[in-house]
A and B are shown apart, each in its own frame.
Chain A
């Protein structure tokens, strides 16, 4: 089935540790996104990538890093610099991130829970 796969579903991070969340899509989408969801705060954009080997910071990029070496993969690393990483992380994709393409629907993965222990 076509879709977006996030793994792991649940991840625990110790203080001072870096962790990586995986996101893979087989939709042949050019654009991929990472969002953070906290209760009552909706979705906040961490990073996005419109094409392979290129990505831009979103609204809350500090303490996070990404790579886009392959079209289908967009892993997110939560570094030790992110002081409050406990949240639900959502990966998403759309056909293109090109602003001139009207109405690009964003499709989401099932999310990953990250908890600091």
Chain B
């Protein structure tokens, strides 16, 4: 079985400060890991993914995420937050042995000016 956890329902940061949105996962095989962003009343937009290779993955809008196998984590980061980054963020995992992905419950990021 596969699972993913986003331990924080809400993350608040000031504009210009670095941000981190946490994600941990559990899989039986090797993980494929994804981050998506959702703005109000919209669908999810793909940000980045980890398949293999370099543990630091760079994605859209200046976001990046670091795969840490020993800690089974895939935290989303950005060096300098923007007010426009305020949204709901989802982490997802797919076990290489699974036919479908599992999504976390989401973390609401609020960036204050």
Contacts and interface: CB of A to CB of B under 8 A. Distances in A.
Interface of A: 4, 6, 33, 35, 40-43, 45, 48, 50, 58, 90, 92, 97, 99, 102-111, 113
Interface residues of B, number: 26
Nearest to B33: A103
Nearest to A58: B100
A92 B104 CA distance: 16
Given A40-B105, A42-B105, A97-B99, A102 B44 contact: no
Given A90-B43, A108-B45, A50 B99 contact: yes
Contact of B42 (A48, A50, A104, A111): A111
Interface in B6-51: 9, 32, 34, 36, 41-46, 49, 51
Interface of B: 9, 32, 34, 36, 41-46, 49, 51-52, 90, 92, 94, 96-101, 103-106
A99 B46 contact: no
Nearest to B108: A40
